[in-house]
Amino acid sequence: MRNRLCLAGLTLAAALLACNSNTPPPSPPTIDPLTEAQAQPSGTLTPHPLPVDLPTYTPTSTPSIARARPKASLVNCRFGPGTVYSMVGELKEGQSASIAGINSQGTWYYIEDPGNPDGHCWVAVDFVETTGNVEALPIVNPPAASVTKIAVTMQQPRLVAACDQFPQVVYFSADITTNGPALVTYRWEVSTGVSSVNNTIAYEEASTQTISDYYQIASPNDYWISMHVLDPNDISEKADFQVICNP
């Protein structure tokens, strides 16, 4: 019985010594977050920040300007949309030009004339490559053809005849050039005040046609003869000639 009491006393004394000791308590164990997350029981939810609705921005862009460049080394640029119109320029290899429109058949582009920044001309769709928004091109109607040049020629710019051999007949001609299909109305006018009747000649394509005529001169003098085109545009050209009396 005495031995048991001694043992209990020793145990109590050891406990009191432990409470009065200056030794700090052990630090709590460090827990790895990953291990802790893995160790969470099934069905435990981990909180996440709620998504923030940001405004949606849709960029707007201006359609790019349509441009044309040759597939080959050179493309003819014409007055109108077709080979029946005259050539007014060319689009060379390495060049490009902005496209201003397209014909109603979709076969020719209306472009800025590379050789004339203030003008336009037409190139065939099949012979050019394009970039930009060609779908938005406006329809451009073909231009009205016109007479672009007249050249009047006298067969004898200086006619010498015996003074008793009048009247004399003079012969002349005019080359009339158009830049496309046209119906040309014209008349001859002489410095004596005489004019021919109005005449018409048809052009199926851009070309030059020659019109010849003659006039009877009553006396020697200095004269001129004029080719006056009335339609599709008003244009004229004249040539001077001289008739001399040789006694």
170: domain CATH number is 2.60.40.10
Within this chain, do residues 164 and 119 fall inside the same structural domain, yes or no?
Answer: no
Within this chain, do residues 151 and 131 fall inside the same structural domain, yes or no?
Answer: no
User: Which parts of the chain fold into alpha helices (H)?
Assistant: 2-19, 33-39
Query: How does residue 33 score in pLDDT terms, banded at 50, 70 and 90?
Result: very low
The domain tally of the chain equals 2
In this structure, how many other beta carbons lie within 10 angstroms of the beta carbon of residue 68?
Answer: 25
Q: What is the mean pLDDT of residues 162-176?
A: 96
Residue 38, pLDDT score: 44
User: Which parts of 24-158 fold into alpha helices (H)?
Assistant: 33-39
Q: 234 lies in a domain?
A: yes
- Among candidates 169, 163, 157, 171, which has minimal Cα distance to 220? 163
- Among candidates 222, 216, 219, 210, which has minimal Cα distance to 157? 222
Within this chain, do residues 127 and 157 fall inside the same structural domain, yes or no?
Answer: no
Cα dihedral sign, 75-79-82-84: negative
Query: How does residue 49 score in pLDDT terms, banded at 50, 70 and 90?
Result: low
Residue 43 has pLDDT above 70, yes or no: no
Within this chain, do residues 226 and 171 fall inside the same structural domain, yes or no?
Answer: yes
Dihedrals φ, ψ of 194, to 5°? -85, 140
**Tens digits of residue pLDDT in 98-128:** 999 999 999 999 999 988 988 999 999 999 9
Q: What is the mean pLDDT of residues 195-208?
A: 98
Q: Are strands 67-70 and 97-102 parallel, antiparallel or unpaired?
A: antiparallel
- Residues 6 or more apart whose Cβ sits within 8 Å of residue 75: 90, 91, 123, 124, 127, 128
- Contact indicator for 122, 104 with CB cutoff of 8 Å: no
Mean pLDDT of the chain: 83
pTM recorded for the entire structure: 0.72
Percent of the chain having pLDDT more than 70?
74
Q: 38 lies in a domain?
A: no
Of 102, 136, 170, the last residue of a domain is: 136
**Tens digits of residue pLDDT in 171-201:** 999 999 999 999 999 999 999 999 999 999 9
**Tens digits of residue pLDDT in 54-103:** 444 444 444 589 999 999 889 999 999 999 999 999 999 999 999 999 99
Query: How does residue 26 score in pLDDT terms, banded at 50, 70 and 90?
Result: low
**Distance from C-alpha of 236 to C-alpha of 238, rounded to nearest angstrom:** 7
- Contact indicator for 93, 73 with CB cutoff of 8 Å: yes
CATH number, residue 83? 2.30.30.40
Residue 7 has pLDDT above 60, yes or no: no
**Distance from C-alpha of 178 to C-alpha of 148, rounded to nearest angstrom:** 5
Residue 13, pLDDT score: 38
Within this chain, do residues 167 and 206 fall inside the same structural domain, yes or no?
Answer: yes
Q: 5 lies in a domain?
A: no
**Tens digits of residue pLDDT in 222-234:** 999 999 999 999 9
Within this chain, do residues 130 and 154 fall inside the same structural domain, yes or no?
Answer: no
Of 90, 115, 136, the last residue of a domain is: 136
Within this chain, do residues 100 and 127 fall inside the same structural domain, yes or no?
Answer: yes
**Distance from C-alpha of 215 to C-alpha of 243, rounded to nearest angstrom:** 12
Residue 149 has pLDDT above 60, yes or no: yes
Within this chain, do residues 124 and 159 fall inside the same structural domain, yes or no?
Answer: no
Q: What is the residue range of 130's domain?
A: 67-136
Of 108, 136, 164, the last residue of a domain is: 136
